[in-house]
A and B are shown apart, each in its own frame.
Chain A
Amino acid sequence: MMVKIEEKGSVILIEVKEERLDAHNSGELKTQMLNLFEEGKNDIVVDLGDVRFVDSSGLGALVSGFKNASARNGNLKLCGLQPQVKSMFELTRLHRVFEIFPGAQEALDSF
């Protein structure tokens, strides 16, 4: 799993540098997020701009991150969703759960 993790002030920006987020690699994203939570970094933006395909395991990893952030009084927000990826959030009603922004800057500015 290729990710780029950057500190943007008090918020962490995770750019997922994979074309697919599925059962093969989503566990690694979950682990990366858990490591950040353990370091006390509870405000996260996940940029999915490079992700062309997401399955239910990929969605599950993001739900896990969202729940962990919320439990620690933080927040996990998403940005850069390609149309087909966005349709997956709508199909599973998860677009009502996550705050979704067009780009990383808008997401970072919302904290």
Chain B
Amino acid sequence: MNEKIEVDIRVPNQTRYLGLIGKIGEDIARTLRRYKGDREELAYHLNLVLTEAMTNAIRHANEDDPKKEVHIVISIQDENLNIKVFDQGQGFDVCAISTPDFKGLDEHGRGVFIIRTLMDEVTYRKLDGGNVLEMIKALR
């Protein structure tokens, strides 16, 4: 039987919700019946990419505006996990950001590197009234 999950969440544009969304990502990783890899590692990674993507949406794209919201859709069908993070801002193109300088000691700039390292495909595109960051991982 095919395994299909879809979770659709909207939260205010505030960092206090990072833990909640990250926890949902972790719980989803633990429910996957057919996943053969390290489930706890996947749980941490989903928590992490959701946290990083949401932080970028809240701080950069939505410019910390508390009247805006972040919309997250997590879906799983068979072997593919798809996470979409919608912002309502001017945009923050993660695909245009280069790999951090590992010898430097910048305080910022590691979030996008983490997302791109842990996910198989990352795209960012404009929509009416905002943008969507889409992250795909093959659950083999």
Contact = CB atoms under 8 A, between A and B. Distances in A.
A53 B55 contact: no
Interface of A is mostly: helix
Interface string B49-70: 0011001001100000000000
Contact of B44 (A59, A60, A84): A84
Contacts of A53: 22, 44, 47-48, 51
B128 interface: no
A70 B132 CA distance: 40
B96 interface: no
7 contacts: A24-B19, A55-B52, A56-B52, A56-B110, A84-B44, A91-B114, A92-B102
Given A24-B18, A93-B102, A55 B51 contact: yes
B18 A60 contact: no
B15 A64 contact: no
B18 A56 contact: no
Contacts of A67: 105, 107
Interface string A90-102: 0111000100000
A97 B74 CA distance: 35
Contacts of A24: 15-16, 18-19
B15 A23 contact: yes
Contacts of B107: 60-61, 63-64, 67
Most buried by B among A24, A56, A67, A88: A56
Nearest to B48: A55
Contacts of A91: 114, 117
B55 A63 contact: no
